Chain A
Amino acid sequence: MGALLGILHRMGAHHYCPLVPAPPPRFVTERGCTLHGIMGEFDTAQAVYAAAEKVRDAGYRRWDVHTPFPIHGMEDAMGVKPTRLPILIALGAFTGVGGAYLMQWWMGAVDYPMVVQGKPYAAWEPWVPIMFELGVLCSAFSALLGMLGLNGLPRHHHPLFTSERFLRSSQDRFFVVIEAEDQNFNPQRVRSLLESSGATHVELVEDDSVEVTP
């Protein structure tokens, strides 16, 4: 059970599945709040791009960059791997196509065979449109739900919104946030990495959504 919970925590399941209890906090601030992560603020797109490359090379996994506009090439600077969503969509598609085939074969050729226009009971031709449509439907559902599952949306709140400075990420500032859940997270090292990358301001971000027991 503990091992399964560990895997679920590593996948971040506790963020979007209410059935998974959150892991005990690894770091707690002086006020007694759970530490969400450490945020570095940058003045220019160039600076945050260079910082992202440094954080990537330092081997962090649970971190993100927040910018007011898309920066081309940022996914390379961050070392973001291609999404696994296509695999989920393919599974959905093959389920839809295969399910439609089996359903129509069972209904038309096994359970209730009926002569229509003298065609064979198990003629595959009329099944194709339904196989196609169910394939499209199931891949669309698995694309949407898989996307929501993988990115953890929708959510009502995010710890970053507790930071006043972070609001400027939609105006004119660029942010790198390294989360405390990262296996390599060490507050001193993260702070010095961000500062040496050219951050103009570094601050702790608390997770105020977790109840603190004094």
Chain B
Amino acid sequence: MAAVLPLAAGAADTEAVVVPEQDDAVASAVMPEDDAAEQSDDVDVYGIIFGHIGDSYEWHITDIGGRKISIPLPVIVRSSTGWHCFLSSRLEDGTGYEGLHISSSDRFDGKIVELDADGNEIRPFDISITRNVLALMISSILLVALILSCSRWYRRHDALSEAPRGVAALLEPVIAMINDDVIKDTIGPGYARFAPYLLTVFFFILINNLMGIVPFFPGGANVTGNITVTFVLAFITFMIVNLTTNRHYWKDIFWPDVPLWLKPIMIVLEIFGVFTKPFSLMIRLFANIMAGHCLILCVVSIIFIAAKIGIAIGTSMTIISVVFGIFMDCLELLVAFIQAYVFTMLSAVFIGLSRERPETGKS
């Protein structure tokens, strides 16, 4: 009984129950790593992972000799005293500037806040160029440059008489695969109206996923692993599905063709289904990419944690961690492509479902 109690207490938070003295040895024997880590300056794994997944007002590149090297990004804020526009380097280390400071409270951790008359923190209207915004801009510029240089080849050459070269040769099989296998087959006639959106969404998600895996600037920002970005993509799909549909879609939802005693259940289910399908699109992409980034960061953090423990375990864990990290990165490449493909395919399927005609052939 005495051996069980320290385990339960040791697993609890530090403000919890007092552990009896003779069981301290048991507790510290069971979890030596935690004690050692807490005493030295431990590797802040939580900070590393959530610093990468979250957003910030500067782009942190690296630490050289204890000094932080980062790119300060513009802060554009409309607080109670009007518009403010300055570089985020003025807000370093919690200092305030023009009444604004970066909060470290639980509710607004990491966000710019101002203090109102009662001393409470409130968030002003914030349209700063944060790291995610800058990464979105960079990947959008990259995407536009790729696609425009691809289309430039087609404008200058006759596609039927010669094979494409350069970027067009890279992108043509991918675009053809998405267009023919995914879009044309699932939507059927009239697919050309939706093909621009679906192809854009595929390449947008693919390029943002790939840029997230690149560890150095300008990659390395977690764009598609941010639920607001995936929410917008799923919302656009939701809008397109529900605004370009025909009457039969709504009839199938509100008065489905089932026996009368099933109709109440089916109507509720169908209305739920209208919202859960884009919701699952959003969560699937967000969770896959965020989980992949978390895993890779954990694997790399193991190197630093093990190095603090000792040299023998540090070396062996480094080798294992590097090998495992390479494997995880290759898996992330696959996941990047698969998630873009699945998002596009499911959006095409939903659009196709909303354009179905009944078997009688009326439109």
A binds B: no
Residues of A whose CB lies within 8 Å of any CB of B are none
Residues of B whose CB lies within 8 Å of any CB of A are none
